[in-house]
Structure 1
Amino acid sequence: MTKPSSEGPLVRVLVMVESPKPPTPTCHLWFEGDVAPTATRAIRVEYVHWQERFTGVWLPYIVTCRAGRGLRGVPQVASLVPHACASSTNALRVLQHDRSEPKRGLALCHKFIFNPVRDISQRLAEWIEAARAWGVDHITTYEASAHPNVAKILRHYEKEGFLSVIPWQNPGSQPNVPHLYRAFYDTQRYSLFTTENIPYTDCLLRHLASHRYVGVWDVDEFLVPAPPFVSIPDMIDGAKGTAHSIGVKPPTSYLARCSYFFDNLTEPATSDMPEYLHLLRHVTRTAKFSPPKVFTKAVHDTSYALGLHAHFALLNLEGEVDRERDLYHLYPASEGYLGHYRPACQGESQEECNASFRPFTTRDTAMWRYRDQIAGNTKRVLSSLGIVPP
């Protein structure tokens, strides 16, 4: 359920449809005490992806329906049907968050975890603690299938209240067998990139009322603020002020350019910085950053953003995002950058990587601002769960 606008209160439903041109559905809305639903035809069906649409694959859309301006309150349940008189065969609980509390700073969104044999528990715990230290106050991720140690980490932070884990299931005929997820997504990259926009956008919509910003990046990535910023929300507030001062329209997304922390450029393990601390033991990065529109990740303003993919918002309250007008590119030296922790540059060809990135490195200990907090909390969690020795 979305706050009232010039169109009145709105109900938005995320869907996957096996069609490049889906028909416009009708929403059946049940208010408290109803014995029959209120029917309202969708006013928009918006495509949530940047790539071309193809026939025969599942594609993501946002369906928007008016909820009416009456005094009946918030609908409890919504169904999508082909026309007003059709029988409902689905039912979705309508989420309406409390807007009486002030918005918090930053929520972090992660796509579905789907590899049951890959143990990223140590990296995941450190990443979560780094996010907490740098100003994230809630993380949402989606779980299709996870290694037992990864599941332990998820359950721990879920019980603590810092993390929300939402069950994930692929649409239609896509596989939903744990050991087939990886094979499917490793070979069907188009399906991966279209499907993951659903959890990104779902996470955004869940935090519209609770947070000012929503970030999207993976466990092998981290958005690192430049001094003197002490948190990621602090950095985005500064960038918003800069945009305002130069007369730029309030940005929908703030994009961070990429610098690589290659796996082999690591610090020696010590007693206070054990081998499993990957982020903290990698403080040598490439001096060169990726171009402003290549391999960026972003933080999104919940006052404007509506539909996301991995790199920037695709939709805002005005419709399709204008990439020149609605996106703000953070300046790495004075605002912040994306640290990408991986064995090689992103992309198939490593020719440019070997010529322009690998030979030129610089030492960057920005992550050490909260070194003791990140290291101590990570060790406490991993040892309490029996993943590392006490």
Structure 2
Amino acid sequence: MNLLKVIGSMERNTTTALVNSRKNKESSPVWNAAVCGPALSYYHEDVSIQLVEWLELLRALGFARVFLYETDVHPNIEKVLRYYEARGFVGLVRFAYPEPYVNEPSIRRLWFLVEKPKRFAMQNVYYTDCGLRHMHEYRFIVHIDPDEIPMLRRHKTFPQWLSDQLNSHPVLPGDERKQPPAHKLIWYYHQKNLEPAPSAASLPEYLWAMRHTKRSLESMAVTPGKTKPVYDMDLATGLFSHDVLTCAYGKCERNSHICKRDVAYLAHFRYDCGDFCKQPNSTVEETILLKYKNQVLPAVTKVLKELQLI
């Protein structure tokens, strides 16, 4: 039997849960949000520069903290993680896969490739662990990976967008069980092989995500596996990568709310675009992240130079 010991207060810490909680006089609270990321296992691949940009973009988006699980990683990634941990923006938990799984990095990488269902099932352990560890600090916890970034079309910060989502779906006192256990952002792919649009071409190459302003217009079906959740930790207790498994009172009474992509979506910086993108008018330019350029560019440059990564 495995037991997950959860230690926390009976009441949420409003100094971290709310935005400007001491000065906030609005009738509806504006909630902070934290990120629960994956168990990083980049041992053979150095993604340290992209990781710095990802963390600084999350900071610019208004996320309060980022929680990551760490296995064996590249030495440069280790430097990045310790840098942000020392400054309080990243929280780290050391993670090892339980027996009979082998934690040697090369064998684990092979296991990831040939045993994907088991790998995804294992993720549920540390996603749920992360949510329950921090549910008394943050009511809203987002699960995203380092190749994903929220794209806010009409808002500057994630807490502002989240506040509008809550206000547009009000719940009467006593009906808290009827509120959605998560708000889900739908993917759009920002393909890796598309050249930057003119608006981003002058950015340095180490701003990898911000330079990838083009995405394919190829239609993409909205399926559960192509969304990522913003967990409401007032309700959610069993978590997985794309939704909520269980709620505090058992089976969730409502489905998670799927947010419209014309307001916000999740950019997934991943696959190459094939023959479709060779057609005329097959891509569109999304300049959403460029509104953070004046904050993110100097911050990323400073960290990369300080850690001698550029």
- Given the two structures, how large is their TM-score scaled by the length of structure 2? 0.85
Of the structure 1 ranges 243-252 and 260-269, higher mean CA displacement relative to structure 2 is found in: 243-252
Task: Identify the residue that residue 253 of structure 1 maps to in structure 2.
Answer: 182
Measure, in 1, the Cα distance between the counterparts of 2:34 and 2:224: 23
Of the structure 1 ranges 172-181 and 289-298, higher mean CA displacement relative to structure 2 is found in: 289-298
**SS of equivalent residue, structure 1 residue 136:** coil
Task: Identify the residue that residue 119 of structure 2 maps to in structure 1.
Answer: 192
Shift in CA distance, 271/259, structure 1 to aligned 2, threshold 3 Å: closer
Measure, in 2, the Cα distance between the counterparts of 1:265 and 1:245: 43
Task: Identify the residue that residue 306 of structure 1 maps to in structure 2.
Answer: 237
Count of aligned positions: 290
**SS of equivalent residue, structure 2 residue 103:** coil
Task: Identify the residue that residue 28 of structure 1 maps to in structure 2.
Answer: none
- Output one character per residue of 1:223-279: Cα deviation in whole Å (capped at 9) or x when no partner: 21221x221122122112222289993111111111111112232798962112111
**SS of equivalent residue, structure 2 residue 267:** strand
User: Percent identity over the alignment?
Assistant: 27
1:279 aligns with 2:205: no
Task: Identify the residue that residue 46 of structure 1 maps to in structure 2.
Answer: none
Measure, in 2, the Cα distance between the counterparts of 1:304 and 1:266: 42
Offset, 1:387 = 0.7
Shift in CA distance, 190/240, structure 1 to aligned 2, threshold 3 Å: same
**SS of equivalent residue, structure 1 residue 165:** strand
**In the alignment, which of 261, 267, 272 is matched to residue 332 of structure 1?**
261
Shift in CA distance, 264/94, structure 1 to aligned 2, threshold 3 Å: closer
Contact 2:12–2:136 (CA under 8 A) maintained in structure 1: no
Q: How does 1:371-386 map to 2 (within 5 A)?
A: 371-386=293-308
Task: Identify the residue that residue 153 of structure 2 maps to in structure 1.
Answer: 226
Contact 2:224–2:242 (CA under 8 A) maintained in structure 1: no
Measure, in 2, the Cα distance between the counterparts of 1:254 and 1:299: 5
- Tell me which structure has the larger Cα radius of gyration: 1
Shift in CA distance, 236/199, structure 1 to aligned 2, threshold 3 Å: same
**SS of equivalent residue, structure 1 residue 211:** coil
Contact 2:225–2:242 (CA under 8 A) maintained in structure 1: no
Please provide the CA RMSD for this pair: 2.8
Task: Identify the residue that residue 29 of structure 2 maps to in structure 1.
Answer: none
Shift in CA distance, 298/331, structure 1 to aligned 2, threshold 3 Å: same
Q: How does 1:112-127 map to 2 (within 5 A)?
A: 112-127=39-54
Task: Identify the residue that residue 179 of structure 1 maps to in structure 2.
Answer: 106
Contact 1:97–1:210 (CA under 8 A) maintained in structure 2: no
Structure 1 segments, 4+ long, off by >4 Å, are 245-248, 268-272
Letter in 2 for 1:367: L
Contact 1:258–1:290 (CA under 8 A) maintained in structure 2: no
Shift in CA distance, 282/254, structure 1 to aligned 2, threshold 3 Å: same
Q: How does 1:1-390 map to 2 (within 5 A)?
A: 95-97=7-9, 99=11, 101-102=13-14, 103-104=17-18, 105-227=32-154, 229-244=155-170, 249-267=178-196, 273-287=203-217, 288-291=219-222, 293-321=224-252, 325-334=254-263, 336-344=264-272, 354=276, 360-388=282-310
**SS of equivalent residue, structure 2 residue 141:** strand
**SS of equivalent residue, structure 1 residue 195:** helix
Shift in CA distance, 276/358, structure 1 to aligned 2, threshold 3 Å: farther
Offset, 1:365 = 0.7
Contact 2:276–2:282 (CA under 8 A) maintained in structure 1: no
Structure 1 or 2: more helix by fraction: 2
Offset, 1:376 = 1.2
Letter in 2 for 1:312: D
Shift in CA distance, 100/369, structure 1 to aligned 2, threshold 3 Å: same
Offset, 1:115 = 2.9
Letter in 2 for 1:241: N
Of the structure 1 ranges 281-290 and 188-197, higher mean CA displacement relative to structure 2 is found in: 281-290
- Structure 2 gap ranges (5+): 19-31
Letter in 2 for 1:365: T
Structure 1 or 2: more strand by fraction: 1
Task: Identify the residue that residue 28 of structure 2 maps to in structure 1.
Answer: none
Offset, 1:305 = 1.0
Contact 1:152–1:385 (CA under 8 A) maintained in structure 2: yes
Offset, 1:117 = 1.2
- Given the two structures, how large is their TM-score scaled by the length of structure 1? 0.68
Offset, 1:99 = 3.8
- Output one character per residue of 1:2-41: Cα deviation in whole Å (capped at 9) or x when no partner: xxxxxxxxxxxxx75xxxxxxxxxxxxxxxxxxxxxxxxx
Contact 2:46–2:77 (CA under 8 A) maintained in structure 1: yes
